[in-house]
């Protein structure tokens, strides 16, 4: 995380003194972008750098489902399982991903290529069901489109 400090300093300069807790979200986002996940050592580093209580960082990491605490595969496929997506067939998509990849939610393929997760609401309920791969949204998904997507990830 130390190599990101110059970037964090530029960010810090945009906030008034005493608002260090406002930097938690952008800092952990940048750390994840850099490393792929947020490690315990990153949290330790941010506590020391920002001077905020560890619980503030832990709260951000546990509230936002896009933050990861462990490494994931090259592709992180997330399938929404909340109400709108469920009503539009999310369970079928989730079962299909599991059957196609041979893994369940929270698991990574043996070759380390794809990590599969189910999540609560990806904020795109109007285009349910929704699948996100890394940062890219795939909306109004069907089994056929999902198969095409999985082939692309190969
Ligand atoms: S319920 Fe799936 S995106 Fe909101």
Over residues 53-90, the pLDDT tens digits come to 999 999 999 998 889 999 999 999 999 999 999 999 99
Instruction: Calculate how far, in angstroms, residue 84's C-alpha sits from the geometric centre of ligand 1.
Output: 5
Confidence of residue 113 (pLDDT cuts 50, 70, 90): very high
Q: Give the list of residues 6+ apart from residue 106 with CB closer than 8 angstroms, or none.
A: 116, 117
Per the structure, how many domains does the chain have? 2
DSSP for 89-100 reads: THHHHHHHHHHH
Structural domain contains residue 142: yes
- Please state the atom number of ligand 1 nearest to the C-alpha of residue 81: 2
Asked if residue 42 and residue 15 are part of one domain, the reply reads yes
| The domain boundary residue, chosen from 41, 63, 85 | 63
pLDDT-based confidence at 135, cuts 50/70/90?
confident
What number does the ligand 1 atom closest to the CA of 121 have? 4
Is residue 86 located within the same domain as residue 148? Answer: yes
Same domain, 47 and 103: no
Residue 154 has pLDDT above 90, yes or no: no
Structure tokens at 144: 């056929």
Range of the domain at 149: 75-153
Residue 53 and residue 79 in one domain: no
What pLDDT is attached to residue 1? 82
């Amino acid at each position: 995380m130390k190599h990101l400090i110059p970037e964090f300093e530029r960010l810090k300069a945009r906030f008034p003194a005493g608002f260090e807790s406002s930097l938690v979200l952008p800092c952990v986002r940048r750390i994840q972008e850099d490393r792929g996940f947020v490690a315990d050592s990153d949290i330790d580093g941010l506590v020391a750098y920002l001077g905020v209580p560890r619980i503030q960082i832990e709260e951000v990491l546990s509230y936002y489902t896009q933050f990861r605490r462990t490494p994931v595969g090259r592709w992180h496929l997330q399938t929404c399982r909340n109400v709108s997506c469920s009503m539009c067939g999310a369970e079928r998509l989730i079962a299909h991903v599991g059957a196609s990849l041979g893994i369940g939610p929270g698991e990574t393929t043996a070759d380390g290529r794809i990590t599969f997760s189910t999540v609560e609401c990806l904020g795109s309920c109007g285009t349910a069901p929704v699948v996100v791969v890394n940062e890219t949204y795939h909306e109004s998904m069907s089994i056929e489109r999902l198969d095409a997507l999985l082939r692309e990830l190969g």
